[in-house]
Amino acid sequence: MLIRILSLSLALQAISQATVVAAEPAHSYKTATASHVSGSELDEWGLPTKRLENLLRDKKIRQARLILARTPRLKGDEDARTMWDAACLSVECKYDESVETFGKVRHLENDGGYVLYLAAMAYTQMQQFSRARELSTVAIERYKNTACYEIRATCYNDEKRYVEAAADYEKAALYSRSHASDFYCEAAQALLKADQAERALLLVDKASALQNASLIGSLRLTKGRCLEKLGRWSEAVSELNKAIESSKSRSNEEVNTSRFWLVSCLRERAACYDKLGLKAEAAADRTTLANMSRGLVNDLLGK
């Protein structure tokens, strides 16, 4: 699945907290931060890299572009400027243009952890997962950019490499404590796809212990799926009941989202009722599902 819009802002926050250890670039220009360019605030093309990075983190794209426009041009600086233009486009969520522009940069892998993060984000949003995974891996291994773990996990999920996806989501949780429960839940869901329900259940419990109230319904749904996979039907029904109940307390802004995962809760509960021999209850859930499905279709069609 694509990275959610919420995750974009979370990753941008995470990267500002991450420790970036810049390696010496192999190509002819440097895009390291000021602290990594021999104490100078400018790279060899006269571009204030540190300031540009900070502006993009703050989403001040106009100011970043003004700096680029006002910085005197130097012979051979085309690659560096193209790279920053692509970075600006990524922050603006113009991912198609960003990917096209990043594609013109000759040595993108050597352009520093933050730029690689923005490039990987753009490629992921354009569903070019293989390239996004490659860039994320370089950012993680060469520049210690921990914000890229979530991006790489998304790529692994698309490639059906679920165990590796789960491992990266767990690492993302370690480096983003305020959103750790989200990442543990994502890791559990990946492990479920890999038929590792017992490990998934442990991660759900770890996420639940962090008490992220906004995630309670999703966690209970995931826990219900784990218990269902393990053949613990009655316990699964109990968790799914709680997940369904929690959907009723959602705010108006969350109603549409909760309706979609409520469909999943009812479907899973109906399957558990079947296993328990409770045919009437299963039939009731499926009737509710059919009614909800018609309602969702009508809403989408504006009826």
Say which residues have a Cβ less than 8 Å from residue 184's Cβ, sequence separation at least 6: 169, 170, 173, 203, 204, 206, 207, 210
Q: What pLDDT does 153 receive?
A: 98
Q: How far apart are CA 244 and CA 249, in angstroms?
A: 10
Q: What pLDDT does 275 receive?
A: 97
Q: pLDDT tens digits, the chain, 303 residues: what are they? A: 455 433 444 443 443 333 333 332 333 222 333 333 333 478 888 899 999 999 999 999 999 999 999 999 999 999 999 999 999 999 999 999 999 999 999 989 887 889 999 999 999 999 999 999 999 999 999 999 999 999 999 999 999 999 999 999 999 999 988 899 999 999 999 999 999 999 999 999 999 998 665 678 889 999 999 999 999 999 999 999 999 988 766 544 455 566 777 889 999 999 999 999 999 999 999 999 998 877 665 554 555
Domains of the chain: 1-159 (1.25.40), 214-303 (1.25.40.10)
pTM given for the model: 0.79
What is residue 177's three-state secondary structure? helix
Cα 164 versus chain centre, distance: 15
Q: How far apart are CA 265 and CA 228, in angstroms?
A: 12
Q: Looking at this protein, which amino acid is placed at residue 176?
A: S
CB 132 within 8 A of CB 116: no
Q: How far apart are CA 182 and CA 188, in angstroms?
A: 10
Q: Find the distance separating the first CA and the last CA of the chain, reported in whole Å.
A: 29
Q: What pLDDT does 44 receive?
A: 84
Q: What are the structure tokens assigned to 16, written together?
A: 């500002």
Q: How far apart are CA 80 and CA 121, in angstroms?
A: 19
Using CA of residue 171, residue 174, residue 175, residue 180, what is the dihedral sign?
Answer: positive
Cα 102 versus chain centre, distance: 20
Q: What pLDDT does 262 receive?
A: 86
